[in-house]
Structure 1
Amino acid sequence: MGRRMNTASLLSYWTFRYLLILCIGLLVVASAAVLWVRQTTMDDRMRMMGLLSQEIADRVSGDGSMPDVSPALDDLIAKRKRFFNLNDELCVTITGDGGLLLYNDRTLSPEEIRKRLNDDLSAPADPDIVTVSTPIVNDGGKTIGHVTLLQSKKALTYIPNENRLLAILLIGIAVLGWLTIYLLSRKLSRPIRQVAEAARQVSGGSYDIRLEGEWREREIGELIGSFKEMTSRLKQLEEWRSLMMAGITHELKTPVTSVIGLVHAVREGVVKEKEADEFLDIALKETERLQTMIADLLDYDALAAGFVKVRRDRLDAGALIAEIVHQWNVMQGEEGCEAVLEPTEPGMTIWGDPLRIQQIVVNLLNNSNQAKAPDRPLNIAVSLVSGGWFVEVAVTDNGYGIGESEREFVFERFFRGERKRQRIRGLGLGLTFSRMLARAQGGDLLLLHSSDEGSRFALRLPMHPSASDKAT
């Protein structure tokens, strides 16, 4: 036995996978967004630091050889940090010629500043530090010092508010996306669960199912409608199967019972001489009828299992049907109804098995003969018509016809109409077997119409290519 695969419900299966894909996608988007925001923030702050550095350099420049550092510079730098929204870790230094440290805003001590900058305090010595340096030029155009702003890269790209907002947005999108797919999957899985439960009921033999709800989706509505129709059909077929099996049992049991009774009467001497011979003749006819029914069952099973070989010969349709109708008329004798073959056009050539075609046409003729209406003489007409890829052999009678409620089931196995069950014994396999033979030859058997005025069946057989070329 194979290992049973672990399965999950449609709802959990798709919601989990959608959430997983959504989270991976949002993670990629979040990573790209964070990198972009950090880079943009860093560029903006570097620009702000450059503006601040330039403003300070302009304020401390003069006409002397050293920068003019005012005591009010601390207050100015504090205001500009708040205005430009710069981090408190930003350190401002002013150096004179030769790297002499003239000013720092006490964010870092002089010793820490010298560790993080180069010798002239104008460039970073620490790779984690970013600096912006602006030369201080006096009125004579000579560089008399530098204003250097230094800050760590981490502090430069630190954006807590933006990160929180991005996290809230991504979490909100993930929750909203999961909720959407959850509700959609739940809505789609509900009718499927109902159909699955109904299918379990049907497999258990219960056909009284109820599928409630209104479905706006066309595919779901078609699924529910098709399942209801299938269940109704199965229920009807199951009821008919029970009735047909009871009928078959009765049909097979009746001749056996008759034969036993007749033979027993002869054996016990209840009847003698001429009457005994008559009893034996009746028993022989019942035996032949029983043999025919058993042969029908065997033929049907053999064809359904694919054991019957069907030939595909090139045949003259007109000559073949004429011979079949003639033989059937001869078998009817003087008291039987005579089938009339209507004039046909010559040269209609078909593919098929002559023996199987004869079986089908004879069965149609026998059915027409059995459908004789009591209030009028029976007329049976056989006609041949070519149409496109096929030749149609139509058998038409003016019998009592087939009831409207029974017409769609005439080709079902073991189905027999109410009138036929009352008048004639049989198993209800004739039309089923005939259609199977027709389709095995590449054709079909159809009921074209039926009413109280009679019925018309059509056997369609594939036309030989040479004949179809002539027809076109």
Structure 2
Amino acid sequence: MDQRVKSPRTVSLLSYWTVRYFIILCLGFVVIAIAAIYWARDTTMDSRIRTAGLLGQEVADRVTTSSGQINVPPNLDAIIQNRLRFFNIDEGTCLIITDHTGKLMFSRPAITEKQMYNKLSDDLTTARDANFMAINTPIDNSSNKQIGQVSILQSKKSLTYSPNELMFIFILLAVLILSGWLTLYLLSRKLSRPLGGVAEAAQQICAGNYDVKLNIHTREKEIQELVSSFEEMAQRLKHLEEWRALSLAGVTHELKTPVTSIKGLMMAVRDDVVSGEEAREFVDIALKESGRLERMVSDLLDYNALTAGSVEVRRDRLDLRLLIREVAYQWQLTHEINELNIELNLPEEPMYTMGDSLRIQQIIVNLLNNGLQASDQSQPIHFSITMYAEDGMLHVEVSDNGSGVTPEDQSHIFERFYRGEKKKRNVRGLGLGLTYSQLLARAQGGDLSLRRSSPAGSTFALQLPR
């Protein structure tokens, strides 16, 4: 049964951030609102109780005469109404004045004594209804003797909640939530636009179109660096793709040429187009061409193996001076060429390095072979190998008296598959020798570089850790 894994549903960055931020913002402000409401309730209750106490004290002062009796002035109702409006006290508040015997002297709104005892307890200190609260203020005469009491009955709801304050809290929270969401929305939108452009350009690159222009200009340093880096990456990918196509064509051509030559030579021998000494000469040429083909395939395999990390590089303690002397001697024996001279300028004392003797030999041999290919057969071939220690590194300079590397080729000679125009005409190969040698040197903690080059010869420098 074919079970396909469903890819998760994706949403835009703008929607993802703004929706989640809005939810988090609302939850956070709901908690703040609940805390603010409880705080406002306690604060409002304390403030309104104090205000009711002040009102009760003022009424007590107004109804007390100089003789120490209770006398309700005729305009008391109007005064209380003004005070209720001034102190922003609920108009439904009930104010009751009683004497020391509990007799009703005044009430606003007007109620009977029976109704008064329905509202207040028998001792006139608390409200009978649990939804109301009684704020009592004693009426004292000049001798500080209580001659009566002012009781103000207010609903607990009016004491704890103020419509204006609640409205202010809700409006404030709504403004904060909307401003926070709007801020993130605008920032997310500003961020998502360049990211969307980069994503669209990446899709074009996946489709094989490397000519992408984002045309995105922002003041944010990181986003602008991202856009610039992406455009630069697209151009480099374009150049690499062009270079890959050219390199593949060049490698194919270099491998095809000896195969075609070998095929033509062997067919000529098979079909008796040539015979005798000439046939043997054709076979010798075919063998040389097969040897070149073998070396090119070997270079390609070695390079691929090293770049894939499947080539082991040993770390042995080596006397580099003795190794170079041995490599130069063996190479000179295998190249029986008249007037070939290798000059060794090596220190007398041992110079040790941690490396792989086989890989170091490959590097030195490759440099000598390159120098031999660049030599002028009309003059004696001369090599100079100089070794010295400097700054914790061992330096091995291999110099030749060949034709040198042209200035326009010097910055490219270590690039894979690169071969200068002169070398393309004179020597067959894949252009991997120097690239492979440099990778081997770096794998051992060193490096390989072109020290100098001119029509009089070239000098390559191998550095290895001492």
TM-score w.r.t. structure 1 length?
A: 0.88
Once residues 363 and 271 of structure 2 are traced to their aligned partners in structure 1, the CA distance between those partners, rounded to angstroms, is 44
Q: Is the 8 A contact 1:66 1:96 kept in 2?
A: no
Structure 1 residues 156-235: aligned runs within 5 Å: 156-235=159-238
Residue in 1 that maps onto 2:31: 28
**More deviation, 64-73/151-160:** 64-73
The alpha carbon displacement at 1:282 in A equals 0.6
Relative to structure 1, the CA distance from residue 109 to residue 22 in structure 2 (aligned partners, 3 Å threshold; closer, same or farther) is: farther
Provide the secondary structure at the position in 1 that maps to 2:231. helix
Once residues 451 and 188 of structure 1 are traced to their aligned partners in structure 2, the CA distance between those partners, rounded to angstroms, is 54
Residue in 2 that maps onto 1:124: 127
Structure 1 residues 299-318: aligned runs within 5 Å: 299-318=302-321
Residue in 2 that maps onto 1:466: none
Residue in 1 that maps onto 2:108: 105
Relative to structure 1, the CA distance from residue 128 to residue 350 in structure 2 (aligned partners, 3 Å threshold; closer, same or farther) is: same
The alpha carbon displacement at 1:311 in A equals 2.1
Relative to structure 1, the CA distance from residue 374 to residue 269 in structure 2 (aligned partners, 3 Å threshold; closer, same or farther) is: closer
Once residues 162 and 243 of structure 1 are traced to their aligned partners in structure 2, the CA distance between those partners, rounded to angstroms, is 78
The alpha carbon displacement at 1:458 in A equals 3.1
The count of corresponding residues between Structure 1 and Structure 2 is: 463
From 421, 424, 445, give the equivalent of 1:421.
424
TM-score w.r.t. structure 2 length?
A: 0.89
Q: Is the 8 A contact 1:133 1:148 kept in 2?
A: yes
Q: Is the 8 A contact 2:321 2:346 kept in 1?
A: no
Once residues 398 and 214 of structure 1 are traced to their aligned partners in structure 2, the CA distance between those partners, rounded to angstroms, is 54
Give, as a single letter, the amino acid of the residue that structure 1 aligns with 2:437: S
Unaligned runs of 5+ in 2: none
Residue in 1 that maps onto 2:250: 247
Provide the secondary structure at the position in 2 that maps to 1:227. helix
Q: CA RMSD in A?
A: 2.8
Structure 1 residues 35-54: aligned runs within 5 Å: 35-54=38-57
Once residues 110 and 390 of structure 2 are traced to their aligned partners in structure 1, the CA distance between those partners, rounded to angstroms, is 102
Once residues 65 and 215 of structure 2 are traced to their aligned partners in structure 1, the CA distance between those partners, rounded to angstroms, is 91
Once residues 93 and 17 of structure 2 are traced to their aligned partners in structure 1, the CA distance between those partners, rounded to angstroms, is 51
**Alignment deviations for residues 43-86 of structure 1 (CA, whole Å, 9 cap, x no partner):** 22222111110111112123678622233211111111122221
Give, as a single letter, the amino acid of the residue that structure 1 aligns with 2:96: T
Q: Is the 8 A contact 2:103 2:113 kept in 1?
A: no
Give, as a single letter, the amino acid of the residue that structure 1 aligns with 2:293: L
Once residues 64 and 216 of structure 2 are traced to their aligned partners in structure 1, the CA distance between those partners, rounded to angstroms, is 84
Q: Is the 8 A contact 2:362 2:437 kept in 1?
A: yes
The alpha carbon displacement at 1:283 in A equals 0.9
User: Is the counterpart of residue 438 in structure 1 residue 430 in structure 2?
Assistant: no
Unaligned runs of 5+ in 1: 464-472
From 284, 288, 292, give the equivalent of 2:291.
288
User: Is the counterpart of residue 55 in structure 1 residue 55 in structure 2?
Assistant: no
Q: Is the 8 A contact 2:339 2:380 kept in 1?
A: no
Q: Is the 8 A contact 2:251 2:430 kept in 1?
A: yes
Q: Is the 8 A contact 2:395 2:463 kept in 1?
A: yes
From 349, 368, 373, give the equivalent of 1:370.
373
Give, as a single letter, the amino acid of the residue that structure 2 aligns with 1:236: H
**More deviation, 87-96/337-346:** 337-346
Q: Is the 8 A contact 1:90 1:150 kept in 2?
A: yes
Relative to structure 1, the CA distance from residue 85 to residue 108 in structure 2 (aligned partners, 3 Å threshold; closer, same or farther) is: farther
Quick one: percent identity of the two aligned structures? 51
Structure 1 residues 328-367: aligned runs within 5 Å: 328-335=331-338, 338-344=341-347, 346-367=349-370
